[in-house]
Amino acid sequence: MTGRRILITRTADRAKPLASLLGNLGAEPLLLPLIDFERAQDQASLDAAMDALAAGGFDWLVVSSSTTVRALMENAAGRGAALVDLIPAGTQVATVGASTQRVLESVGLRVALAPSETQSAEGLLALWDPAPARVFLPQADLAAPGLRQGLAARGADVTAVTAYHTVDFPASEERRLTAELPAGVVPSETSTLVLTPLEVGHELEAGRIDAVVAASPSAVRRIAGLFPQLAGCCFIAIGPPTAAAASALGITVAAIAPQPTPDGIVSALESVFANEGNLP
């Protein structure tokens, strides 16, 4: 990995764990923030669901991303409370994988159910016992319907609410999510270089970027719009939905991270670099 230049298409706070690991392995991480997050436009629906949560109206809180945790923290702060204070003892918490589990635990929540192998909505659904449970599912506005539909198919009464909106970077100052995760959840600041789209375009044209990492279909759409040609640069997708979005837009996917974690992404990168002489 030494000397490889890896473009991470995330904001600095979300890219820190991967950037830190890549730096430790001798690579040079580069950042290009493409998407950002704003508070839900329909605050009334989120408030009503949070009221029901605090009142014990749900058997399960299902969280599928660390950004959802931040959105719920922000809503709780607006009530003068910490998120953990709004979760009754009888409400269990489930999530889709280890990364979000660590974030939930960092804010004081015990996770009762999370997949360890297939860290995704599908992995969580594979563990879910069919039952008429009342489920609160806060999600992004662009969330795929699979998790909601899968829970409902297993007998759950699902209240799915938009917790935040995914927007092109940067978010508006008035609506940007501002809740910060506790110190220690992500590494401290690094000297990672943050580039503009114009600068990235120049670096790609010059062949000075070895791989691009994308974590969501929305990031893929922006990449395709900004950089129609990746100039032979390897494209690494975090998860099958991201890979499918890339393929649909004509981007060749060199590898899919086996897990949506820094270690999983590094594993995908190492596999691609080890076999790049055999790539078409």
Q: What is the pLDDT of residues 19-53, one digit of tens each?
A: 999 999 999 999 999 999 999 999 999 999 999 99
Average pLDDT of the residues in 4-28: 92
Band of residue 278 on the pLDDT scale cut at 50, 70, 90: low
Average pLDDT of the residues in 204-231: 93
pLDDT of residue 84: 97
Pick the CATH number of 5-34+184-278 from 3.40.50.12280, 3.90.1150.10, 2.40.50.100, 3.40.50.10090: 3.40.50.10090
d(CA 14, CA 78): 23
Summary mean pLDDT of the chain:
92
pLDDT at 105 exceeding the cut of 50: yes
Average pLDDT of the residues in 85-102: 95
pLDDT at 272 exceeding the cut of 60: yes
The CATH-assigned architecture of domain 39-165 is 3-Layer(aba) Sandwich (3.40)
pLDDT at 17 exceeding the cut of 50: yes
pLDDT at 186 exceeding the cut of 70: no
pLDDT at 188 exceeding the cut of 80: no
Residues 6+ apart with CB under 8 A from 105: 111
Band of residue 242 on the pLDDT scale cut at 50, 70, 90: very high
Question: pTM score, two decimals?
Answer: 0.86
Residue among 244, 243, 169, 228 nearest 14 (CA): 169
Q: Which residue ranges make up each domain of the chain?
A: 5-34+184-278, 39-165
| Location of structure tokens 């159910």 | 113
How do residues 45-93 score in pLDDT, each as one tens digit? 999 999 999 999 999 999 999 999 999 999 999 999 999 999 999 999 9
pLDDT of residue 184: 65
pLDDT of residue 172: 95
Domains 5-34+184-278 and 39-165 share a fold: yes
Lowest mean pLDDT among 2-6, 8-12, 13-17, 21-25: 13-17
Average pLDDT of the residues in 168-174: 94
> Beta strands of the chain (E only): which ranges?
5-8, 28-31, 35-39, 60-63, 92-95, 111-113, 134-140, 157-168, 193-194, 211-214, 234-237, 255-256
209 or 228, greater pLDDT: 209
Residues 6+ apart with CB under 8 A from 92: 59, 60, 61, 112, 113
What's 176's DSSP letter? B
* pLDDT more than 70, % of the chain: 95
Average pLDDT of the residues in 239-261: 93
pLDDT of residue 11: 87
Between the alpha carbon of residue 103 and those of residues 3, 61, 81, 119, 229, the distances in Å are: 31, 14, 18, 15, 36
Strand partners, 233: none
Average pLDDT of the residues in 196-220: 95
Residues 6+ apart with CB under 8 A from 129: 154
104, 69 Cβ separation under 8 angstroms? yes
229, 238 Cβ separation under 8 angstroms? no
189 or 154, greater pLDDT: 154
Between the alpha carbon of residue 192 and those of residues 9, 18, 21, 147, 226, the distances in Å are: 13, 11, 12, 34, 22
pLDDT of residue 280: 46
d(CA 262, CA 22): 9
